């Protein structure tokens, strides 16, 4: 069984163009994300699923420089791009991580993968059905073959853009399982995703404070830092997260 991280990535973000190349402690955000994904115990491959646009040539070059796989497909149809990237790399289970999560740690990723491994009847395991983790720490795991079935039968634009939406909107068809955060890490109010300039300011500050001391810093370290520096949370608290619908 191959568990592959499929990371949908493009340069033309509507709110913060080029965010995947913004500097975090001396390297682009995408490099920092790949660095963190490589620490997972279970991921077989990391696949950067980008577009055929010339603007995303730099994304491909970044993937090559980090010696991870890449796939180029449709810009608008993210679902199709994701399932094609998975199939091109013999993926049994897609571990969906978004490119705006450069703080995500391997412990969080592996906890969700372990839920799938421990309960083979589950179709979709995630930690966001009921959010207990901070925004920016979302992990979703599902079978490639199930996503291909969705791709073949569903033309809903929201589903084509938000890859896993169909699974959790149809709990009557799929066995869903939610992974909750350990008590100390239960901070759904933290916004640790990279989507705006304010988000970048917060994430950059976290990297500058923690990375030089402990490059493999995790959510425990981030939580302690934010508790010790509560003013940091106010940097991006006012930002409204975009909804799938």
Cα→Cα distances 76→13, 79, 143, 158, 192, Å: 12, 9, 22, 11, 25
Distance separating alpha carbons of residues 155 and 150, to the nearest angstrom: 9
Q: What are the residues whose beta carbons fall under 8 Å from the beta carbon of 110, sequence distance 6 or more? A: 40, 41, 42
What is the structure's pLDDT at 13?
A: 82
Mean pLDDT of the chain: 97
Q: What are phi and psi of 5, to 5 degrees?
A: -75, 125
What is the structure's pLDDT at 241?
A: 87
Q: How large a percentage of the chain has pLDDT more than 70?
A: 100
- Assess contact for 112 and 126: CB atoms under 8 A: yes
Q: What would the pLDDT profile of 85-138 be if each residue is shown by its tens digit?
A: 999 999 999 999 999 999 999 999 999 999 999 999 999 999 999 999 999 999
Q: Is the pLDDT of residue 15 over 90?
A: no
- Assess contact for 237 and 134: CB atoms under 8 A: no
Please give the average per-residue pLDDT across 177-188, as a whole number. 97
| Dihedral angle of Cα 178, 181, 187, 189, to the nearest 10 degrees | -10
Q: Is the pLDDT of residue 14 over 90?
A: no
What is the structure's pLDDT at 77?
A: 97
What is the structure's pLDDT at 245?
A: 82
Please give the average per-residue pLDDT across 40-66, as a whole number. 98
- Which runs of consecutive H residues, i.e. helices, occur in 105-189? 106-118, 144-153, 157-161, 165-169
Do the bridges between strand 69-73 and strand 45-51 make them parallel or antiparallel, or are there none, so unpaired?
parallel
Distance separating alpha carbons of residues 83 and 90, to the nearest angstrom: 11
Q: What would the pLDDT profile of 192-223 be if each residue is shown by its tens digit?
A: 999 999 999 999 999 999 999 999 999 999 99
Distance separating alpha carbons of residues 138 and 131, to the nearest angstrom: 9
Q: Is the pLDDT of residue 165 over 90?
A: yes
DSSP 162: S
- Assess contact for 164 and 112: CB atoms under 8 A: no
Distance separating alpha carbons of residues 211 and 10, to the nearest angstrom: 25
What is the structure's pLDDT at 196?
A: 95
Distance separating alpha carbons of residues 146 and 173, to the nearest angstrom: 11
Residue 3 confidence class, pLDDT cut points 50, 70, 90? very high
Go through the domains of the chain in sequence order and give each one's CATH number.
Answer: 3-235 (3.90.550.10)
Among 12-21, 34-43, 169-178, which stretch is predicted with the lowest mean pLDDT? 12-21
Q: What would the pLDDT profile of 61-86 be if each residue is shown by its tens digit?
A: 999 999 999 999 999 999 999 999 99
């Amino acid at each position: 069984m191959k568990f592959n991280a499929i990371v949908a990535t493009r340069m033309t973000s509507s709110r913060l163009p080029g965010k995947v190349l913004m500097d975090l402690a001396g390297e682009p955000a995408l490099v920092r994300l790949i660095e963190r994904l490589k620490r997972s115990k279970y991921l077989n491959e990391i696949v950067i699923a980008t577009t055929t646009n010339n603007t995303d040539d730099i994304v491909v070059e970044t993937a090559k420089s980090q010696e991870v796989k890449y796939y180029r497909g449709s810009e608008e149809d993210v679902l199709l791009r994701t399932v094609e990237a998975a199939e091109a790399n013999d993926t049994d289970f897609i571990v969906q991580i978004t490119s705006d999560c450069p703080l995500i740690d391997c412990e969080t990723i592996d906890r969700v993968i372990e839920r799938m491994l421990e309960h083979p009847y589950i179709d979709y395991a995630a930690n966001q059905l009921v959010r207990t983790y901070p925004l920016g720490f979302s992990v979703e795991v599902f079978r490639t073959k199930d996503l291909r079935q969705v791709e073949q039968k569903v033309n809903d634009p929201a589903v084509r853009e938000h890859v896993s939406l169909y699974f959790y909107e149809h709990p009557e068809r799929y066995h869903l399982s939610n992974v909750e955060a350990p008590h100390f890490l239960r901070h759904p109010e933290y916004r640790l995703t990279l989507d705006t300039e304010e988000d970048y300011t917060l994430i950059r500050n976290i990297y500058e404070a923690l990375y030089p001391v402990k490059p493999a810093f995790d959510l425990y370290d981030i939580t302690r830092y934010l508790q010790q520096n509560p003013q940091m949370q106010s940097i991006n608290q006012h930002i409204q997260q975009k909804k799938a619908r």
